[in-house]
Structure 1
Amino acid sequence: MQGSKEISSLQNPQVRKIINLKEKKKGRESSGLFVVEGQREIKMALKGRYKLTTVLVYPEIFSLEEALALMKNSNTKPEFITLTKDVYQRLAYREKTEGILAVAQAKSHDPRSLALPDKPLILVAEAPEKPGNLGALLRTADAANLDAVLIANPKSDLYNPNTIRSSVGCIFTVPVAMGKSEDIVQFLKEKQIRIFAATLEDAIPYTQADYSGGCAIAVGTEATGLTAGWVKNADQSVVIPMEGQIDSMNVSVSAAILIFEAKRQRLGQ
């Protein structure tokens, strides 16, 4: 088969490199590569114009012919590799696997490279720690068709396999930028994008805020919320009234409530 080879040894250097990419943040950061698993996620990566360097299949589940067809209309020309069962099981991240994974090149995530429309609607997530939460935030952003997600002081690895899995591939199609909080605040101020901080301090109910115009909704961690810098630089603090016994919700749920209220207002303009 054109451009294909088979790997049957767990000691193969290429296998060991992919294991390092899957399991080690340092390996991903130093190489600029990461692993994508699953048909849907790979399709989303291609849609987001990510370059795939290698595609690996376990032909008992997903054939090489199917993999070639998947790449047929893409602008990427990866190396194709078939794997034996034990090698594939070592490389696969999921319990319920789909027989295909790929190695892809990471992108730059500089806020100044974003192509924003007039009056953008943006989500800012400060220091999300759990890959699952970050993935859920990206799914929310996709559902609302946000113009961008800005990750301030990132602690979670954007290309962590669990982030990719929990985002259901939205990580590849939602415009994402990262940076220090102070740099992102400055970027938003320069673009005249109003900042709405989800915090209790000097806050009004979220439904009373005016989200017309360019705006960024900033959410913090579930444990500590937004840091003082975001609260200080916010144009308005907003709060979701709580009627139960606890005083917080999952960050992706809170973000969804605020984002869709902003969408509701903007659609009514």
Structure 2
Amino acid sequence: MTMNKKVIQITSSHNEQMKRWKKLHSRKGRMKYQALLVEGEHLVSEAIRAQVPIRSLIVDEKQEEKVKQLNTSAPIYMLSSSLFHSLMETESPQGIAAEIHMKEWKEEELLAHAPSRSIFLLLDAIQDPGNLGTILRTAEAAGVTGVFIGKGTVDPYNPKVVRAAMGSIFRLPLVQVDLSLCLPRLKERGIHIIGTSPHAGKWHFEYTFPSKVAILLGNEGRGVDPALFSFVDEQVMIPMPGGTESLNVAITSAILLYERIRQQYLRG
């Protein structure tokens, strides 16, 4: 191998690094090590581009060429193809993965640095990894200030969420909270909270988004926990002339976020 980088060969599944990486497949393991395992050229490149601390690169020995263009000083661990495949959860691994440090955001940290025009998402028990990943990807695209992950929501560092978020997980501030305690603190800071209801009486485009706002989104089946509704300042409804009863929660988030953007462009 001709790379001027530190390369460590691993030949056994009993290696301590292998044992550590396998633990990162569980939420408990990710919390313990404050790390997650990401797989594939795109996600590894996105993590490097976002300047997330890379603890190690993990490479299938048949794919060593993929490492040469990556701008990182992280140690490289070379595995046989069989060993690499045994470590990965996808059916067709791409031959490169990385262990990256998970930044632990604090509520106060996020709020203290929020700009005068801020928008937050409040997620109550979103359970589908694809939905959460799509919400996070859309949130980054829409310039969301931060996302508060409520109890019952799927782990945002679940591999399926990470893949669906397409790299947004590395750049978007995420705080895991008890929403019943968090919402009053947001209101104390002058942040208006909006929710959705088919009986709201006001279309989402009739609502004028204030400079500081948070959108509360609920579980795919039951919606928002009724106990949280007392904190909502305004409820809006999205037109559905086709007659369906509800929209996918990720679609709802996109409609509301981009309505705010539309209003911002109109205001100038």
Q: What's the TM-score once normalised by structure 1's chain length?
A: 0.90
The CA deviation string for residues 156-209 of structure 1, in whole angstroms up to 9 with x for no partner, is 112111111011111111222221102321232132111111224545211111
The secondary structure found in structure 1 opposite 2:202 is strand
Aligned residue pairs, count: 262
Q: 1:235 offset after TM fit, Å?
A: 1.0
Tell whether 2:57 aligns with 1:55. yes
8 Å CA contact retained: 1:231, 1:237 = no
Q: 1:88 offset after TM fit, Å?
A: 0.9
Gaps of 5+ in 1: none
Q: Using the alignment, how far apart are the partners of 2:106 and 2:9 within structure 1?
A: 38
Q: Using the alignment, how far apart are the partners of 1:6 and 1:208 within structure 2?
A: 61
Q: Using the alignment, how far apart are the partners of 1:123 and 1:4 within structure 2?
A: 42
Q: 1:241 offset after TM fit, Å?
A: 2.4
Instruction: Decide which of 19, 24, 27 is 1:16's aligned counterpart.
Output: 19
The secondary structure found in structure 2 opposite 1:240 is coil
Structure 2 counterpart of 1:70 = 70
Structure 1 counterpart of 2:9 = 6
8 Å CA contact retained: 2:5, 2:75 = no
Structure 1 counterpart of 2:265 = 267
Structure 2 counterpart of 1:109 = 105
Gaps of 5+ in 2: none
Q: 1:128 to 1:62 in 2, by over 3 A?
A: farther
Q: Using the alignment, how far apart are the partners of 2:5 and 2:216 within structure 1?
A: 49
Q: Using the alignment, how far apart are the partners of 1:226 and 1:61 within structure 2?
A: 46
The secondary structure found in structure 1 opposite 2:23 is helix
**Large movers: runs of 4+ above 4 Å:** none
8 Å CA contact retained: 1:219, 1:251 = yes
The CA deviation string for residues 14-67 of structure 1, in whole angstroms up to 9 with x for no partner, is 212212212x2111112212101122212222333321111111132242xx42
8 Å CA contact retained: 1:144, 1:263 = yes
8 Å CA contact retained: 1:62, 1:98 = no
Q: 1:224 to 1:102 in 2, by over 3 A?
A: same
Aligned-partner residue type, residue 21 of structure 1: L
Q: Using the alignment, how far apart are the partners of 2:247 and 2:38 within structure 1?
A: 30
Q: 1:25 to 1:139 in 2, by over 3 A?
A: same
Map 1:58-137; keep pairs closer than 5 Å: 58-63=60-65, 66-67=66-67, 69-72=69-72, 77-114=73-110, 115-137=113-135
Instruction: Decide which of 32, 38, 46 is 1:30's aligned counterpart.
Output: 32
Q: Using the alignment, how far apart are the partners of 2:150 and 2:94 within structure 1?
A: 34
Identity %: 27
Aligned-partner residue type, residue 33 of structure 2: S
Q: Using the alignment, how far apart are the partners of 1:192 and 1:229 within structure 2?
A: 21
Q: 1:143 offset after TM fit, Å?
A: 2.0
The secondary structure found in structure 1 opposite 2:63 is coil
Q: 1:82 offset after TM fit, Å?
A: 0.7
Q: 1:234 offset after TM fit, Å?
A: 1.0
Q: 1:236 to 1:13 in 2, by over 3 A?
A: same
Q: Using the alignment, how far apart are the partners of 1:41 and 1:184 within structure 2?
A: 31
Q: Using the alignment, how far apart are the partners of 1:207 and 1:262 within structure 2?
A: 9
Q: 1:242 offset after TM fit, Å?
A: 2.2
Q: Using the alignment, how far apart are the partners of 1:110 and 1:18 within structure 2?
A: 26
Q: Which moved more, 1:127-136 or 1:38-47?
A: 38-47
Q: 1:154 offset after TM fit, Å?
A: 4.6
8 Å CA contact retained: 1:222, 1:248 = no
Q: 1:266 to 1:212 in 2, by over 3 A?
A: farther
8 Å CA contact retained: 1:37, 1:93 = no
